Amino acid sequence: MKRKLSRQVKTDIWGWLMISPLVIGLLVFTAYPLVSSLVYSLFNYRGTGPLNIDKFVLLENYKNLFSYTGEGSFLHALKNTAIYTLISVPLGMVLGYLLATFLSAKVKGSRTFLVLFYLPTLISSVVAGALWADMLNPEYGIINTILKNVFGLAQGIPFTDKSHLMASYIFMTLFNLGGGSIIWVAGISSVDKTYYEAAKIDGAGKIQRFFKITLPLTTPYIFYNLIIGLIGALQLFNQPFVLTKGGGGDGYALLTVEMLIYNSAFSGKMGVATAMAWILCLIIAALTGISFLFSNKWVNYADD
């Protein structure tokens, strides 16, 4: 009995030793920053030095975020982020799914197109932002140069103006459709071919097979891309930051919540920045939770 207990203790000790790097990493790099950011959000903290109890403001940082609605405010950045999310996520999913449907067809050269569409996603978002900033430049950008010299436009399109900047960026993101399409191609390819054969025998056409077989059986992949798309859109930072040089562009038209958090944190407003981060975290958690709550009404899993 004692030998069995000693062996079990040794096994447990070795087990804890093996997972200790992961546990320590989670505590130091995840749990501690999470708790400390919540504490910082309750103080008028600049980001350096110790916390002073006389700087304790409780929920004042959260309250102040909703008291100003002008350009460059938290609500303005939240509005920009919401507009981008509401437009780019559905648009990207629909176009990406249609692209995946084409790439999944047994057409000559479809695999080559799949690789070509996926290549833009391999480019660093920072590099892509810098490239697009040059291409969309109203003075020397290659897009306006083509519009002037090839199509004869007297004046180029002011892509970086307040009224065009959001639309220009959403257009940019369409070049990354290949990333989501890869997942959908895998989902469409995994559908059992016997369903299609049975549907053909029953006289179902291509459109009927798409809406009755392909679409329902790939809803788990659609749901996955929806969640990833929502989280990514709400945390938008890299490309808009590079494209607008961190300022959000003309009239703060492309200022996102993540950009405002970054700018606030590195301008001595760590307490305000962490408050914004927690609000964004709660919004993402709420939308993700709602998505999972209603997923059983339209997502069809193989085991169901």
* Structure confidence at residue 292 (pLDDT): 92
Give yes or no for a contact between 66 and 74, defined as CB atoms under 8 angstroms apart: yes
What is the greatest pairwise CA distance in the chain?
92
pLDDT for res 138: 78
Predicted local distance difference test score (pLDDT) of residue 304: 53
Residue 254 is predicted with a pLDDT of 92
Read off the amino acid at residue 192: D
What pLDDT sits at residue 4? 59
Q: Tell me if 245 sits within 8 A of 134, measured CB to CB.
A: no
Token pair 């944190």: residue: 265
And the tokens for 274?
Answer: 């962490």
Rounded distance between C-alpha atoms, residue 25 and residue 130, angstroms: 33
| 178 within 8 A of 97, measured Cβ to Cβ | no
CA distance linking residue 121 with residue 25, whole number of Å: 29
Residue type, 257: V
What residue ranges of the chain have pLDDT lower than 50?
none
**Token output for 168:** 């220009």
Give 181: exposed, middle or buried? Use CB within 10 Å, 0-12, 13-18, 19+: buried
What's the pLDDT at 31?
Answer: 92
- Residue 16 carries which DSSP code? H
For 60-295, which CATH superfamily applies?
MetI-like (1.10.3720.10)
d(CA 270, CA 29): 18
Q: Where are the domains of the chain?
A: 60-295
